[in-house]
Structures are given as structure tokens and as C-alpha cells.
Structure 1
Amino acid sequence: MDGAFDALIEEMTDAEKVSLVSGHRMWKTAAIERLGIPQIVMTDGTYGVRYSIPQIDQDEAGGQDFAAFLSVVDQKADDVQIAWGQVRPATCFPNGCSIACSWDTDLARGLGEALARECQEFGVHLLLGPGINIRRTPLGGRSYEYYSEDPILTGDFAAGVIGGLQENGVGASLKHFACNNSEVERTTMDSVVEERALREIYFGGFERAIAKSNPWTVMSSYNRLNGVQAAENPWLLDEVLRGEWGYDGVVVSDWHGIKDRPASLAAGNDLDMPESETRKADLQEAIKAGRIDRAVLDKACARMLGLIRRAKRGEARGRVFDRAEHHSLARRMAAESIVLLKNEGALLPISPAKVKRIAIVGEGARTPVIQGSGCATTPPTSVDVPLDEIRKLAGADIQIEIFRGTSGIAEDRETLIVEAETGAAGADVVIVFVNVESGYDGEGSDRRTLDLAHGHDELIERLAAANPNLVVVIASPDAVVMPWIDKVQAVVETFFSGQAMGGGLADILFGRVNPCGKLTTTFPKRMEDMPAYLTYPGENGRHLYSEGIHVGYRWYDARDIEPLFSFGFGLSFTEFAYSDLSLDRSEIRRGERVSASFTVTNTGAVEGKEICQLYARYGKPRLKRPIRELKGFCKVALRSGESRRVSIELTAQDLCAFDPARGDWTLDGDTIGIEVGSSSRDIRLVAPLRTISSISEHRPIEWDTQPVFVLRNPIARRKFVAFLQGQLGISAQEADTMLEHCANSFFGIFTTFDRRLRRSFPKADIERLLCEINGETDERDYQAA
């Protein structure tokens, strides 16, 4: 901070300071009336505002009074009511797994703006989202909240949501930092991740979103990271987040995510939520005993005061959001995000001129699956029933029949399937609604399988045999396997599309909206193909991220595994052609940018939108890298026959890899392919780009570096020749011959001198030599960059 709060903090007692950084009850910061410090309100919601009336309006604490608990201990209780009590209805927008399939950062900003309007009406100052953890495994319980398996798409989409919120006076909380990728033992599990994977994959979305949108708060995660609790990790919160990235906002804990409050404050976790008398007492005792630097506490207080001031300035009391308008927005978002995965024989869109009878099967037609479960769950203001919305667009000329098809009760399934088979046999089109197993689609538990719910796969198989004109509509938090894929003509993936899913889906089915959504994760053919399969979900409290940087599509490319559906894939009712790729430079160095321009043409008969994706394909990198990585994207709307010139810009930094040996990002000297395509497996154009840098050509020289690496480094070779001349009194040619004689040794360079030539050197002279070599290399690298 700028010192604006120094005088105010000076007036505060230790108890008041502890109160300020400890929250009040479940959803508020502590007010300090003596000093005129107000409280602010926060609540959950990555895709909707969940407002607990008793916990916010009536200031109830979380959980239950013990006596009240005992009075109902033998009664079956509603978990939601126990957790939050009565909750105000709010718009349930498409969940993260859905809306990110729009690849539309303007739509992301629109979501943030709409959420801000609802927060303003409810009096909420800080919305606890967006959640942007990488979808490392499709089994992850909170995958439905998160955007993608890729950090570029994740970071850019999150920045849009954050911008929409904060530009309208409501703060965001970017969460969960970091590596909260599974719900298995999530408050104790140790995510064991190599630094390069952390930097390039799991930190990438956070760093990008923070740089582009500067969220008011960042939320630390529940898990341990490489042995240290995330909320108490000074390397994570202080060195990386604040030191390297320059973040100056508030770090807030996940709810009860702190185990050692003094350690968390020292590490940079400012706000402990929710209020805990135990943790407050622990912090006060540590202050009294001198175990906490008062400057650290004061700094946290200053950040808290800055957040409160910003939040109060953003208030817009009296604002009321338009329920109908937000529902319409949710419907448009759903339609923009739904992914058409298969459409053989142009079965879709449904034409009233050709279709006279539709059979609709599945419980989801009447009771749609619109969202996941957990902290993000939002009681909707209204819900579009898919059956009703389909009937509206079908009109009076199309006969619609509905069949339940399946049941959670195994004994009922066969009868229901037979009824559906019989009813579907004579229909022009059959639409079946299926979903994943209920109860494993949210916070607190990961999914156990990539299969659909019990009976749903069999239902699809049987319907496909009865009528080939089958449209499968899937509601799932992430990827599912499809053993029946070759037997059906059309597949529509809605993910969890929010309260207007029914309307958005009907718009797609009848062609009122041309589908344009594309997958943000890879769909495997079988669970065994998943990158994390062998080490998920961990053992003995440790979860090894064994695939390293090869997450998602990177894994399938590196292992040459054909996915069911690739990252970035999605069909349209029209076709798009790509042509004329050009780069505005042929070489790029650190600090420079390159713009890739190409032409996209709608070659089909109807208007549509194409999501164009730009990838980098590496040539001969020094460090092992993915075959290709997403580096940029854009969404283009085109009329039939229309062409448009599109440009996507990327920086040299976007092409860097993190080198743990140097502790820094490095750019290879390489020739890479700038690829443009419709998905990660559908590359249409490529152009070469030379990356110019000496920074990553040679590894640092250490005492035990093998001679071959010394010989490959011109600076090291020259310095060693001079060193040997000075130490041994020999000529430059003799010194160089001495090095060549050692070239094939598998020992370190100085051990080799000792073993082969019986020569050793003073340790101080060796250290001086190594410093000179690495220092000159670094200096040359810096000048080149």
C-alpha cells in the first residue's frame, strides 16, 4: 500500500488488528466501529450469486448450534439447508465447464457484468470466483466450475469475468491457488508437482488472469503443495504471487483452509475465513509472544483496509437486476456454449418440413441437470424445461411423445427401456437425455468413472438399434466415454448449462442458433487413456502429478493416443475454410511480438461462428516440450460466403519454457511452426517462425558437469582452455587437446581430469572459473534478450 492507512493502523489495538484479518461470521469482514471501519459482504458464486439469508442478513454462524443439532439428530436433514439455510434465488448461468466452451472473452465479461448487477442488488461486495484450477482429470469433482485443461484459455476467460465484475464495483476472488485439482482428501492431500509443470500449467492461468485483470483478492487452496499447506506457503504466496508477479491485493483463505494461523499470516495469507475464535486466539497469542512480526500484521491490515475502501466505493445501493433479461442472457450463453460433437447425415437441425414425429426419452427432458453441487450451487430464478422449449419451437405440426426411458431403480429399467424402444421405433427423430451419476458431480467428491449414470449407456444402445435417427443430449461436468458413439447419428454436449439450458438447447436443435461451442478439454476413448490415470488420486496423502507438463491434449499428442474428441473440437451447421497465413516477422526475440494473420471463409449455406485457434509447434527444443500448445484464439462471426482477415498476436514470452536449472523463463533458439486450425487435431495452416535467443543454448556449468557439455559451450571451452594454460603452463592447443581427450567421460569434468590425467586444482580457483563462465554466459544471454 501507499501508506494511506498507516495512521489508522497505528490507532488499532492488537485485538482489532486480529479481528480485521479474521473475518466476521461466515461471509463478512469485521467492522471496527470505534475507528469507523465498516464491514463488507462476500459470498460464493462462480456462475451465480449464492446468498444465504440467515448467514448474511441475520448474521448466523455456519454450522448448527450443538443443542439444535441434538434435537434433530435422528431426522433426515437437507444438506443444503444445513450448510446455508434459506438462499435467495439468483440467475444460474452456465457453469464454467459450459460457458468456457464459447471461447468468447466478451461473453465472459458479460457474465461478470451480470453477476455484478446481481451482487449490487443483494449488497454483496466480493464474489468468491472465478475458480480456474486446471481440469487435470475429467474425474475432478469441481471440474464443472473450472474452465479448461489449458492455462491460456483459462487465464483469458477468467480475466474477462473479473473485468466485468470489478469494472462494475464488485470484487473478484481468483481461486484456488494452487493445484486444487481433485476433491479426494482435498484439505490434506499433498499435490506433488515439479516446478516446471507448476509454472507452465498450474500457475499459468493465475499469472495471466492477474496480469490482465488484477483481481481484488486471490483465494489460497485447501491442499498442500509439495509438502506445505497452500495457505501457509511463503514461496507460493510471498515469493511467487507477490514478489515475482507483483500482486498487491488481498489473499483470502478458503473456508477453514488455514491450519496454523500465525504461519499463514507470515506466509502472506491476509484474511482468514470464516471467523474462527480458535484461530484468532492462536494469532493473538503468537503476536503477544513475539512470534509474528508486527510489520507483517500491519501490512495485512493495510491490504484489508484497501479492499474495504475499494468495495465500499463500488457500492450501488438500490440497483435491481432484470430477472427476465438475465434469463435471456443465460439462454444466449447456453446456446453459444453447447458443443455439437456429431451430426451424421445432417440430422440436425430439425426441419419441421421433414420431421413430423419426435420421440423424447429421458428424465432430463423434464428435470434438466443444469449445475453441479457444492459451494457454487445457485437456486435459479427460473428453469427452462427442455421438453417445453422443444414443444414451443416444434409447433403444432410436429407430434411429440415423451418416454421416461430409465430410472435410478434397477428393477424399473427394463420396463421403461422397452417402452422407450417401442415409442422411438416409428419416430422421425429420437432425442434422448442422459447424464452422469448424480452425487458425484460436485464439491467434496470426485467422479468414480467416466461412464454415464447407471442404465443410460444401455438405453442409448437400445434406442439406436430401434431407430438410427438418434440425437444424444449429454449433461456432464466433464468428459464421458461413449461406447455407443458409432451407432448414433448426433451427439450434443451441454455440460452444465444453467437455468436456461432447455431454451438454449432447443435453439440449437431447431437451428435458431448455429452451434459454435468447442471443447475446452479432451475427451478420451477410455479412462485408462487419461494422463493422470496411473497416479490418480494419490496414495498415503500424496498425489504425484506424474505427467508433468503433459496435461490434457499435450499428453494425447505426446503419446500419439487418439482421443474420442480432441481439445478445441466442435461442429457447426456450416463449414469454414482457412487460407493465406502470414506472419508480420520471420524472427522473434525476447521482448518482441508477432502477429499471425489469416483468412477465414464461411463456405456453407448458413451464418455461423468459428473459433480459430493458434498453436505453437516446437522444432528442436532444448528442453522437452509438448508437440503443440495453444497460444491464442479468436471467435469470428461470418455470413454464408463471407470472408474475414483475422489476426492473433503473441509475444516471445508466450513461446518460452520455464527452465528449473536457471530458475527462469527461457526462449530457445529454434524454428517453430505457428499453426492455425479448427482444433488441436485439425490444423489448417502453418508458417515458420525463428526464435532468436542464446539464453537456453547451454546449461550452466557445475563442478560435476560432464566434459561433453563443456565442449559444446564456446564460452566454457574458451575459459577452460585459458584456465588449463594458467594452471598447467601449457599451450592453448595442448589445453584444447586435453579437453578433447576427456570428451567421452561420463564423470564430471574435474573428476575426469583427476582420473585420466592425474590433475587436480584448488577449489577456490575452480569456483572462480565456474562463476566466470556462467556469469559471462548470463551476460551474453541478457544482451541477446
Structure 2
Amino acid sequence: MKHKQIIDKMTLEEKASLMSGKDFWQSENIDRLGIKNMFLADGPHGIRKQAKAADHLGLNESIPATCFPTAATIANSWNTKLGEEIGQYLGEEAVAQEVNVLLGPGINMKRDPLCGRNFEYFSEDPYHAGKLSASYIKGIQSKGISACVKHFAANNQEERRMTIDTIIDERTLREIYLTAFEIAIQEGETKTVMSSYNRLNGEYTNESIHLMREILRKEWGYDGVVVTDWGGSNDRVAGLVAGNELEMPTTDGETDKEIIKTIQEGKISEGVLDECVDRLLELIFTTGKVFEQAYNTTFDIEKHHQKAQQAAEESLVLLKNEANILPLKENVKVATIGDFAQTPRYQGAGSSVVNPTKLDNTLELLEQLPINHIGYAQGFDRYGKQKKQLVNEACDLASKADVILLYIGLDEVTEAEGLDRSHMQIPKNQVELLEAIHEVNPNIVAILSCGAAVEMPWINKVKGLVHAYLSGQAGAKAILNVLTGAVNPSGKLAETYPISYEDTPAFEHFPGKEVSVEYREGLLIGYRYYDTAQVNVRFPFGYGLSYTTFRYDNLQISDEGATFTITNTGDVAGAEVAQLYVHCQSDAIFRPTKELKGFKKVYLNPGETKEVTVPFDDKTFRYFNVKTNKWEVEEANYTIMIGTSSADVILEDFLHVTGTDAPLPYDKDALPSYYAGKRAKDIEQAEFENLLGRQVPVSTWDRTKPLGYNDTIAQCQYAKGWIARFAFHLIRFSHRFLQKIGKRETANLIMMSVYHMPFRGIARMTGGVINMPMLDGLLMMVNGQFFKGLRHFLKEQRKLRKESKEIVATVAEER
């Protein structure tokens, strides 16, 4: 242990006290030993340190900070250097606000387009997400503080996220859902990892010995800290044994007592606690060093704003440019339509909400451009209400213009933490506006703002389409620079855009509605599925247009990597993202048709040629063998493909690779659908069980059992206690009523923080106001013992108050 001398001086109570938070955002301190508290703050794309009452839902305003584009946006840049620079700026602002641990980046896979938190995640590809996240981590930690990669692991839906059981086979877990974390931890060297809320194959992630000790600690060699997601601790002692150091937020000492009691009873060794304390002390001391010396308490707001603009410019994706309608010609008559032009949609919702230092406004900036801007019309109601007058006003303006800039997308409450989207469409009133404008003027350039994939049945009604994603506080200027040609777009999609949601691989197996969610599609998520099953898509993974053109030539393959040339054959400077995909020509083990194994962004002047090398690494040819329980390489010929997207391969050659001589992991006859590349909808349970190597658990609630700690408020609908059923119907009525009167954000909050909350969350998220014994009383009431439960609740409440008064009195005496 690194800090044995300090640990030897600590009492058991002091050690245990460090294992949970001091309050909502701070770790505990022990002044007599010089152990200071740490401050942890949300911040995947900007610092969210709250100055007033703390919450984890983004309700209360935070100290102003630069709002950079979200991870889903930066992912489209395919630029790891840019990711590291953004990380450096984030780290600098974190230091200025005295934040020790910045809770990001988030790197969960985009298994399904409807996941409500996709805007916070990079990609549907683990290699791509891993490389971008590692760059962020390096940048953040270069300033002396810690990044915190999250949410570990297989947290791919928001609905019922605190109790859902992810059922997934080991190979898919390793190759798809853990590879990004492996890269982030080994290459980024993150000091902190956040465990996810969900269960994984029956165990809560932060209690899983397999996940936390066998893989994270032993296999990957991770010696940093694991912190729970806020309120994400189930069994505190089980988490401690698995190596989970820090539980957040505070439980006012309740779980500390559980740890102490378990050690005193000899159920676990004090050495288990010492091991966790040692790792936590290392994080406290290493991140605290920067605050022990002179450091900047301010940052250059304008400089950081400019970096946010550059980041957005590199990440915008030009998806359509019919008849070269873009870039806009000088003095062209332009009409701007759409509520998002006046009030931009530039970031997500929930715990990642940033209070920006400044916010660019499209309408103000338009007047500075070399175009003839003839006016603005709102066009539609932001939250979907049909307003015919707005459409008429927009059409009248559109009829007078040469080109219409139509700002459309998803609103802030459609994409939010804690909730999944119900469909992939943009609001109906926006589509109707688009169709009405098209009738009077077809020269439409749509600017789309949203954090995840949407259906685009309307795409033939626009001549130009720029996808801005969620482009941060400087996004408005970045968008206009692309529209006018001041910046040549170079973004490429980091996720596939299907034609319809029914085409997606996990359709009918997302989200898990009750006990569990089955990942029947296995390895085939995103482009891996569409390419393997030969399903047509709207836009493929890696796709994006430019105002120039590029030519690829001279592919040469060696054991070290692929080398080729790229030439800018157009008239303007531009950047191209070259993508390397690999296909194993053997069919002995089922695999996707192609997998991304490298990429490089190259900047070229007109007529310029550059030689590009994309190296192979330890992940290029590997697969996880469930028989040997380790990574293996199959001896075979591998097709090496260089392309501009997963669907546009330009150069290819093959390489024979020597294998590791491992036994074949599967009985081919038992897994016909997986060898045929079918989607989850078409895979029967028996075949999925063959892949898992065990039976699939029952996915529905047992409505005959009393409700317990890990049952949700939603399950009160079938509770024995009348008061629980009444409360359930009251919650449902409140949600529907609030939606009807337009209070959608409040309605969403009810679903996220009440409806899908497990009962234990009441204790874990109230900072000790309600403890577990009091919760036992509530559960008695829920399960039909109203008066007994009420008496128990009030008795435990009085006991808690008495203990709190005694503690306050003791502290006062010591002072």
C-alpha cells in the first residue's frame, strides 16, 4: 500500500467514513491526518459546479463555464488531438473552480438510437469511442485533476436504469461494451471510474467481482478509484468487497456503520477496507496537489469560447448538398425560419446541463454575413403544438427568398437523462412546416439540432442538410461559418442513421420494461448489423460530405499497418477522415462483416497529396474466446479496407495473420442466426440461451411477492397496500396532466426521479433524511400493513433525530 503509514494511524470509524460522501458533491475529510475533501462535479462537456442547492438532475443553475459541444458532436470530428485539447480546457476550468474529479467522459455504446442519454456518448463503435475518450482523459488529467470515465458498464437505456438487469453474453460484453472502457483506462490512464446503476447478468455492476476485480483490476491493471453513480449503491458491503471505494452522495454515515459492523463481526477483513482507503487517499492527494500551490482561479473566457467554436466547426456534418446549394453565394436572399435559430438547442438535459459563459445568437450573427438576410420567422412551436399562423408567416417569408435556412430538431425535454425517446421522429409540426415551405420554395437548407439519430422521411424536401448535433455555446457561429464556406465541413457520422426505427437491430428488445433487457443481437449493433445483414440505411457510419473531393491511391499492407495516399482533388482546402476496417475471411467464428480498427484525420490544401499510415494494434485482429476466457487471434486471411464510411470502401487488400491456435468457441449448428447475421427480433430465446450458456431469467415482475428495496415506485400499481396504489395513480395522473398543460420538463422529472426510482433510492438520494429502517416502515405500508408501517416509520424517525442531536452535541463539546 502507498499510504500504509497514514492508514495505520486511522481508526476503523475514520476509514469507513471515507467510503461515502460528506455531502452531495464532496468526499469526507479527516483534518487531524491532513486528509482533505475532494469536490466532484458533473462535466462531460462543461463544468457543472453548483453554487447553491445541489442536485443531480440539472435543476439548479451552476457556476458559469464554457459549454463545449457534447460528446456525440465531437465524436463526428474523428479528431483525437481535438479531444485532448478540449480536455485540457475542461481541466483548466475545473481547476479554476476547485474541482478534483470531473465526472466524464461518458462512453457507453449507442446500442439503440432511442437511449435518452445518447447525446452524452461518443459512438456505436467501441474502438472509436475508446480513442476519443482516452484523448479527453489525457487532456483533463494534464491539469492535475482526475477525469471519471462512466458508466461502467452496459448502461444503454435510461428507463428503469437503477434496477434493470442487462442480459448479455461474455463475448459481446468484452468486444462491444467493455472495449471502449479498456482503451480509456489503459491508454487514457483515468484515475477514476464511475460504476453504472444497472445490474449485469444478475449482479449490480459495483458489486460484481467479475467486472470490478477480475476484469477491471486484474486484467486491465487498474489501480484507481471506483465511485458509484449518485444513489447507485445497493449493498454497500458487497460493493466494498468488489473494490468500490466511494459511494455518492452522502448517506449521513448510515452505510459507514454497515461497513464497521461487518468488519467487527468478522464477516470481512479490515484489509479489504484498507485496500480501498489506500486507493482513495492516492486520488485525494494526487488531485489535491494542484490546489496546494498557486493556481489560476479564472480562465480566458473568450479563448475558451473560440475553442468551443473550432470544436463545433470540425464536428458539423454535411449530409446533403444537392446542386451545390452550399456554401451560400454572396448577396443571396436568405430567409431564416425555425425556433431553434432564435433560441438554440445546443446541449443536452439533466446532470450535464452547463451554464454557459456566453451564447452565440444566430439572428444577430446573420446580419454580419455577406448575404442578403431578408428576415426571420419562428415557423413552429418548440414543443410540438400546432400553430397555423406560424406556418403561414413562415411560408410568406419563404416565398420572397432565394434560399431558406430551416432550423429544426429535437427539444430539450425529448432527449434527457433518465428517460428514453419513444420514437425516432422529429416533431410532426416541424415536418408539416417543412412540407408547407417546400410548396412555395424548394430551395431549403435544413440545419438539424439533436443529440442522436432521427428518421428522415422528409429528406427529399430539402436540398441541403447540415447536422449540427448539440454544438455548444459557440455553435451558432460555427454553423454559419459552414453554411457560408468560411469553414469546409469535415465531420463524419459516428453512428448510423437507419431509414426507420423498425430497421434497427435491437428493435423489440429495447428498452427492458420490467426486470431485464436481453441483448439478443449480440455483436451486431450499429453498422456491424446493417453491413452484415445488408440492410439499407439513410446514412452509414462514417459518412459526411465536403466542399472539396478526395482521391485515395497506393494501398500497401504490412504486418505493422496500412499505408496509402490521399489527394485533395478539389478547389478548396479540406480535411478527410480515412477509416480502416477489417474483415476476417474465415467463417469458423461468427463476426460482423467489417469492424473499424483505425482512423486518421488528414488536412489537405487543393492539389496536395499526403501519405497516410494507419497502424495495426493489439485490437486489430483479436476476438474474445469464451472457451479459453481470453483474447485470441484466429489464423486466417483478413481483408484490410480503407474507406470514407463503413459503406464506401475505396481501397482493399488482404493480409494473412498467424493465430493463437485456440479451440473454436462455438457449435455452429447451435447458433444459426448468429452465423447468418440476424437481428434480435429474429433470434429465438433458445438460441440466445445457447449463446449465453445458461437460461435467460424471467423478464417480468413477480406480482405475487411483497415489494422490496429494489422494486420501483412504478410497481406500486399492483401493491397490496391501498395507499401505494393510490400514490401510483396520483403519480400517473400528475405526469399526464403536466404533459397536457405543457409542463413537459416537470412531467419528465416525475418519471425519472419518482416513477422509475427503486425504493432504496429514497434512502440513498436523501442524504440520510430517510434511512433504511425508516424505509422498512414505508415498505410495510406499501405491502398492506399501513398502521404497523406508519408506527415503525415514526419510531425510526424519532430515533434518527435523537442520534443526530447527540452527534451535534458531541461535536460542539469537542470544539
What range describes the TM-score normalised by the shorter chain of this pair?
0.7 to 0.9
Match status 1:299 vs 2:297: no
Q: What count of residue pairs does the alignment treat as equivalent?
A: 665
Amino acid at match of 1:196: R
Question: Is the contact between residue 628 and residue 662 of structure 2 (CA under 8 Å) also seen in structure 1?
Answer: no
**Which of residues 434, 449, 459 is equivalent to 2:408?**
434
Give the SS at the match of 1:184: coil
Partner of 1:689: 655
Partner of 1:221: 196
Q: How does 1:706-725 map to 2 (within 5 A)?
A: none
Partner of 1:636: 602
Partner of 2:585: 619
Question: Is the contact between residue 116 and residue 421 of structure 2 (CA under 8 Å) also seen in structure 1?
Answer: yes
Give the SS at the match of 1:37: coil
Match status 1:367 vs 2:365: no
Give the SS at the match of 1:43: strand
Amino acid at match of 1:372: G
Partner of 2:315: 337
Question: Is the contact between residue 384 and residue 427 of structure 2 (CA under 8 Å) also seen in structure 1?
Answer: no
Q: Deviations over 1:503-546 (max 9, x none)?
A: 10011000000000000000010010111112111243200011
Give the SS at the match of 2:480: helix
Partner of 2:238: 263
Match status 1:289 vs 2:258: no
Measured after TM superposition, the shift of residue 700 of structure 1 is: 9.8
Partner of 1:762: none
Question: In the superposition, relative to structure 1, how do residues 62 and 107 fare at CA in structure 2: closer, same or farther (>3 Å)?
Answer: closer
Question: Is the contact between residue 191 and residue 226 of structure 1 (CA under 8 Å) also seen in structure 2?
Answer: yes
**Which of residues 339, 346, 350 is equivalent to 2:324?**
346
**Which of residues 230, 233, 237 is equivalent to 2:208?**
233
Match status 1:480 vs 2:454: yes
Partner of 1:422: 396
Distance in 2 of aligned mates of 1:162 and 1:39: 22
Distance in 2 of aligned mates of 1:653 and 1:41: 36
Amino acid at match of 2:558: D
TM-align CA RMSD: 1.7
Distance in 2 of aligned mates of 1:29 and 1:470: 53
Distance in 2 of aligned mates of 1:511 and 1:504: 11
Question: Is the contact between residue 577 and residue 644 of structure 2 (CA under 8 Å) also seen in structure 1?
Answer: yes
**Which of residues 668, 677, 682 is equivalent to 2:643?**
677
Measured after TM superposition, the shift of residue 287 of structure 1 is: 2.1
Partner of 1:252: 227
- Calculate the TM-score normalised by the size of structure 1: 0.83
More moved, 312-321 vs 549-558: 312-321
Question: Is the contact between residue 217 and residue 249 of structure 1 (CA under 8 Å) also seen in structure 2?
Answer: yes
Question: Is the contact between residue 317 and residue 492 of structure 2 (CA under 8 Å) also seen in structure 1?
Answer: yes
Partner of 2:125: 150
Partner of 1:44: 42
Distance in 2 of aligned mates of 1:538 and 1:636: 41
Give the SS at the match of 1:87: coil
Question: Is the contact between residue 622 and residue 696 of structure 1 (CA under 8 Å) also seen in structure 2?
Answer: no
Match status 1:178 vs 2:153: yes
Measured after TM superposition, the shift of residue 23 of structure 1 is: 2.0
Question: Is the contact between residue 338 and residue 505 of structure 1 (CA under 8 Å) also seen in structure 2?
Answer: yes
Amino acid at match of 1:147: F
Measured after TM superposition, the shift of residue 487 of structure 1 is: 2.3
More moved, 461-470 vs 184-193: 461-470
Partner of 1:646: 612
Give the SS at the match of 1:144: helix
Distance in 1 of aligned mates of 2:58 and 2:618: 48
Distance in 2 of aligned mates of 1:548 and 1:93: 34
Partner of 2:256: 280
More moved, 141-150 vs 685-694: 685-694
Match status 1:120 vs 2:109: no
Measured after TM superposition, the shift of residue 614 of structure 1 is: 0.4
Q: How does 1:369-408 map to 2 (within 5 A)?
A: 369-394=345-370, 398-408=372-382
Give the SS at the match of 2:465: strand
Give the SS at the match of 2:319: strand
Give the SS at the match of 2:408: strand
Partner of 2:431: 457
More moved, 431-440 vs 363-372: 431-440
Distance in 1 of aligned mates of 2:50 and 2:393: 43
Distance in 1 of aligned mates of 2:609 and 2:439: 42
Question: Is the contact between residue 669 and residue 696 of structure 1 (CA under 8 Å) also seen in structure 2?
Answer: no
**Which of residues 141, 156, 181 is equivalent to 2:116?**
141
Give the SS at the match of 2:452: coil
Amino acid at match of 1:427: A
Amino acid at match of 1:98: T
Question: Is the contact between residue 622 and residue 668 of structure 1 (CA under 8 Å) also seen in structure 2?
Answer: no
* Identity between Structure 1 and Structure 2 (%): 40
Question: Is the contact between residue 437 and residue 452 of structure 1 (CA under 8 Å) also seen in structure 2?
Answer: no
Give the SS at the match of 2:537: coil
Give the SS at the match of 1:689: strand
**Which of residues 550, 573, 587 is equivalent to 1:607?**
573
Q: How does 1:656-667 map to 2 (within 5 A)?
A: 656-667=622-633
Match status 1:469 vs 2:443: yes
Measured after TM superposition, the shift of residue 8 of structure 1 is: 1.0
Partner of 1:562: 536
Q: 4+ runs of 1 displaced by more than 4 Å?
A: 408-412, 697-701
Distance in 2 of aligned mates of 1:457 and 1:127: 39
Match status 1:188 vs 2:163: yes
Question: In the superposition, relative to structure 1, how do residues 4 and 536 fare at CA in structure 2: closer, same or farther (>3 Å)?
Answer: closer
Question: Is the contact between residue 627 and residue 663 of structure 2 (CA under 8 Å) also seen in structure 1?
Answer: no
Question: In the superposition, relative to structure 1, how do residues 636 and 283 fare at CA in structure 2: closer, same or farther (>3 Å)?
Answer: same
Q: Deviations over 1:263-297 (max 9, x none)?
A: 10001111111111332222222222222221110
Question: In the superposition, relative to structure 1, how do residues 162 and 466 fare at CA in structure 2: closer, same or farther (>3 Å)?
Answer: same
Distance in 1 of aligned mates of 2:70 and 2:497: 18
Distance in 1 of aligned mates of 2:625 and 2:436: 53
Distance in 1 of aligned mates of 2:115 and 2:320: 25
Unaligned runs of 5+ in 2: 671-815
Partner of 1:322: 300
Question: Is the contact between residue 162 and residue 197 of structure 2 (CA under 8 Å) also seen in structure 1?
Answer: yes
Give the SS at the match of 1:651: coil
Distance in 1 of aligned mates of 2:551 and 2:619: 30
More moved, 449-458 vs 359-368: 449-458
Q: Deviations over 1:132-181 (max 9, x none)?
A: 00111111111001000001110100010000011111211010000111
Distance in 2 of aligned mates of 1:217 and 1:652: 24
Amino acid at match of 2:535: I
Distance in 1 of aligned mates of 2:286 and 2:660: 45
Question: Is the contact between residue 117 and residue 319 of structure 1 (CA under 8 Å) also seen in structure 2?
Answer: no
Distance in 2 of aligned mates of 1:47 and 1:379: 11
Measured after TM superposition, the shift of residue 624 of structure 1 is: 0.2
Measured after TM superposition, the shift of residue 80 of structure 1 is: 4.3
Q: Deviations over 1:179-212 (max 9, x none)?
A: 1111010000011111111100000100011111
Distance in 2 of aligned mates of 1:697 and 1:125: 47
Partner of 2:287: 311
Question: Is the contact between residue 437 and residue 454 of structure 1 (CA under 8 Å) also seen in structure 2?
Answer: no
Unaligned runs of 5+ in 1: 56-60, 64-78, 586-593, 706-785
Measured after TM superposition, the shift of residue 27 of structure 1 is: 1.3
Amino acid at match of 2:199: R
**Which of residues 71, 75, 78 is equivalent to 1:100?**
75
Distance in 2 of aligned mates of 1:637 and 1:512: 16
Measured after TM superposition, the shift of residue 488 of structure 1 is: 1.4
Partner of 1:444: 418
| Higher gyration radius (CA) | 1
Amino acid at match of 1:629: E
Measured after TM superposition, the shift of residue 652 of structure 1 is: 5.0
Measured after TM superposition, the shift of residue 363 of structure 1 is: 0.4
Amino acid at match of 1:164: G
Question: Is the contact between residue 386 and residue 429 of structure 2 (CA under 8 Å) also seen in structure 1?
Answer: no
Amino acid at match of 1:690: H
Partner of 1:725: none
